[in-house]
Amino acid sequence: MSRSGAIGIAVVGAGGWGKNHVRNYAAIPDVDLRYICDRHEGIRESMAALYSSVDVVSDLSVILQDPAVAAIVVATHAPSHFEVAEAALRAGWDVFVEKPLCLSGDQAATLCRLAEESGRIPMVGHLLLYHPAVERLKSLIDDGELGDVLCIYAPRVNLGVVRREENAWWSLAPHDISVANYLLGSFPQAVSATGSSYLRSERGIEDVVFATLHYPDARMAHIHVSWLDPHRTRKLTVVGDRKMAVFDDTSADQKLAVFDKAVRTRKAPLADGASGLQVVRALEGGSASLAEGGARIELPGGR
């Protein structure tokens, strides 16, 4: 029975990052966490023990048939994002999908189209877009404090966690692509990327990737992602022709530094489906560039 006035939520995929969604939604007063869905029996058993008042199921169709569910959180492994999100949108639910939205631009465009046709809201887990330091960076840029933005560069490296189903590009780069798109107020027109597979060379899963995204007006964003680095670095530098700003997400006391030259409505979220689509297109183009030894790959515009 849904609590009066509470929004019915279902979380699909409760392993990995999904368990954090379960914990957070269970703690929100005006949310009714009605379902936890996972295909793995061990995960279902642990969730049932922790959240005895929530229905824990293995079949997505059970959730899709419950009119008390208003939105579905998709936190399954990336290859299944499209399948689950498509089913939810076709059933008439709003969806939140962990990044990346899906693994191809065509699939991302399909999800955006389905959401638009049904009047549903898709949201992607590009959480850095909501970071206070990123919001402040955007204000600095829009107010002209940095002057004309010339370029952005972002290293996102650490030692582990090594993924089995996606390379470092698809796993780590969505954060910085989404932020670069937001700060520059546009989408990349082309991408070139180079990388290497060291730990899983037999599967072609790149552990280290260097990529350059090319934006209108000769602006660019350079991204370095790796899980083979002795340092944990989460940094984004914006270079303007007047000033420069650095967002260091690992800093305990100074997240944002500015340097003089030498951060219940039906309103679309900032990290909406279109945002997810453009990130996926950049990721997809980067994968094509990786396969072609760093060739420049032109990216499609619009939807």
- pLDDT tens digits along 87-107: 999 999 999 999 999 999 999
Q: So what's the pLDDT on residue 138?
A: 97
Pick 161 or 30 by higher pLDDT: 30
Q: Distance between CA atoms of 277 and 110, rounded to whole angstroms?
A: 9
Tell me if 122 sits within 8 A of 102, measured CB to CB: no
Q: So what's the pLDDT on residue 263?
A: 37
Burial 168-196 (b: 16+ CB within 10 A, else e): bbbbbbbbbbbbbbbbbeebbebbbbbbe
Kindly indicate the confidence band of residue 266, based on its pLDDT and cuts at 50, 70 and 90: low
Percent of the chain beyond pLDDT 70? 96
Q: So what's the pLDDT on residue 286?
A: 93
Span 210-235, mean pLDDT?
96
Q: Distance between CA atoms of 249 and 179, rounded to whole angstroms?
A: 13
Indicate if the pLDDT at residue 118 is higher than 70: yes
Average pLDDT, the chain: 92
Q: So what's the pLDDT on residue 301?
A: 75
Indicate if the pLDDT at residue 137 is higher than 50: yes
Kindly indicate the confidence band of residue 262, based on its pLDDT and cuts at 50, 70 and 90: low
Q: So what's the pLDDT on residue 1?
A: 43
Span 271-289, mean pLDDT?
90
Kindly indicate the confidence band of residue 268, based on its pLDDT and cuts at 50, 70 and 90: confident
Burial class of 167 by CB neighbour count within 10 A (0 to 12, 13 to 18, 19+): buried
Q: So what's the pLDDT on residue 162?
A: 80
Q: So what's the pLDDT on residue 3?
A: 55
Q: So what's the pLDDT on residue 272?
A: 84
Q: Distance between CA atoms of 104 and 100, rounded to whole angstroms?
A: 10
Kindly indicate the confidence band of residue 303, based on its pLDDT and cuts at 50, 70 and 90: low
Query: In this predicted structure, which of 4-8, 9-13, 36-40, 47-51 has the lowest mean pLDDT?
Result: 4-8
Identify the residue whose tokens are 């990290």: 271
Domains of the chain: 7-124 (3.40.50.720), 127-298 (3.30.360.10)
Span 279-289, mean pLDDT?
93
- pLDDT tens digits along 152-209: 999 999 997 888 778 999 999 999 999 999 999 999 999 999 999 998 777 888 999 9
Q: So what's the pLDDT on residue 302?
A: 58
Could you please report the per-residue DSSP string of the chain? -PPTTPEEEEEE--STTHHHHHHHHHH-TTEEEEEEE-S-HHHHHHHHHH-TTSEEES-HHHHHT-TT--EEEE-S-GGGHHHHHHHHHHTT-EEEEPSSS-S-HHHHHHHHHHHHHHT--EEE--GGGG-HHHHHHHHHHHTTTT-SEEEEEEEEEEE-PPPSSS-HHHHHHHHHHHHHHHHHTS--SEEEEEEE-SSSTTTT--SEEEEEEE-GGG-EEEEEEESEEEEEEEEEEEEESSEEEEEETT-SS-SEEEEE------PPPTTBHHHHHHHHHHHHHHHHHHHTTS--EE-----
